[in-house]
Chain A
Amino acid sequence: MANKKAMRLCDRVTHDGSRVVEEFDGLWQNSNPDSRGIVQIRIGVRGTDTEVEFFTATERPGVLRSWGVITQVALYSDAPDSARACGFTATRDFGFVEYRIQANLNKGLMVLCRYAMFKDDSGRNPYFVREYYRRQHNEEYQLESIT
């Protein structure tokens, strides 16, 4: 343990690399019913693989738009010696805009942050959004796909 490299004292620990991710599995619903951003999140856990699908608001009430399934998902625990996954990061690149997603669980609530970086010279500001999600058990929306 003593010879482990660390940039923080709290990182000088050992861990067997195991991880528990079931806490994420399922549908998550935005706590704000008027959200115009990511309204719903589906997280699927299959063994050691995790996939995420984001559904955003559209101008049509009750209709969501899928960003497609993202399989490159990095999971994070709550400590370097913990197996409990409580956060993830992912990237969705649409060509003209790239979103960097950072999420974490806090007492049953998912806090999801999104950086939008436009690459199309449209003049739009890069922006940062923070939204909150609770577990959802029923499909309430009609879905459409843009992928």
Chain B
Amino acid sequence: MTPDVPPPYTLNRTTAVHENEPGIDGAQFGTRDDHDRLNPHLLLGLWRNCNPDSSGLHEIQIESKKPSDGKSGDTVLAMRIIAHGPDGLLDWGWQEGPLFASVEEGGVVGVASRFVYQFDFMTTEIQLRVNKGVLVPTLFTTFTDNSGRSSYFVREFFYRAE
């Protein structure tokens, strides 16, 4: 049962679990006060596809943005995709996504993000994370044009180009 008014939390790493918490692993990721200390630089920069024969994404550019109101904990990422389109390179434009704390294998603290690109005939949800210096975008694409094409999942690997 979802509580109407959640009881107060104790915000530290050992006791932040609410009695009605759907899961009990959230406490390790800290509080919004820690958010500004997350390191978005792991994701920032220009990235190129490791596969020179890819017919999917070619290049990804990621920047960090601060909200104009200056509130803490609201750092967002802006991503621009250049894809291999039917007639050459195709600019998907910029999208913004929130910054998430993450813990990678081996307990390494990292960051991740999630972006959604919506076009008039398809929607692509993109999971973005860095693993050992490799940018790993995972794309979940759904076609909305009744073309019969399957919604599909694909993961690609990008190296830092600068």
Contacts of B140 in A (CB 8 A): 74, 76, 87, 89, 102
Asked if A8 and B153 make an inter-chain contact with CB atoms under 8 angstroms apart, the answer reads: no
Kindly supply a per-residue 1/0 record for chain A positions 34-63, scoring 1 wherever the CB is within 8 Å of any chain B CB and 0 otherwise.
Answer: 011110000000000000000011110000
Contact (A126, B149) CB under 8 Å given A96-B2, A146-B22: no
Interface centre among A7, A19, A78 (most CB of B within 10 A): A7
Contacts of A100 in B (CB 8 A): 114
Of B38, B127, B153, which contacts A76 at CB under 8 A?
B153
Interface centre among A37, A59, A80, A124 (most CB of B within 10 A): A124
Number of A-B pairs, beta carbon distance below 8 Å: 187
In the complex, how many angstroms separate the beta carbon of A48 from the nearest chain B beta carbon? 13
Asked if A126 and B101 make an inter-chain contact with CB atoms under 8 angstroms apart, the answer reads: yes
Is A16's beta carbon under 8 Å from chain B?
A: yes
Contacts of B104 in A (CB 8 A): 130
Asked if A8 and B101 make an inter-chain contact with CB atoms under 8 angstroms apart, the answer reads: no
Q: Which residues of B approach A to under 8 Å, CB–CB?
A: 1-3, 6, 9, 11, 16-18, 20, 22-26, 29-35, 38, 55-57, 73, 83-86, 90, 92, 98-104, 111-112, 114, 117, 119-122, 124-125, 127, 129, 138, 140-143, 145, 147-155
| 8 A-B interface contacts by CB (under 8 A) | A4-B147, A8-B84, A8-B90, A13-B149, A37-B23, A74-B151, A124-B16, A124-B31
Question: In the complex, given contacts A100-B114, A123-B11, A125-B100, what are 14 additional A-B residue pairs having Cβ atoms less than 8 angstroms apart?
Answer: A5-B119, A6-B85, A8-B90, A13-B149, A15-B150, A36-B25, A58-B24, A67-B22, A74-B142, A80-B152, A102-B138, A116-B26, A123-B32, A127-B29
Q: Which residues of A approach B to under 8 Å, CB–CB?
A: 4-17, 19, 35-38, 56-59, 65, 67, 74-83, 86-87, 89, 92, 94-97, 99-100, 102, 104, 113, 115-117, 120, 122-130, 146-147
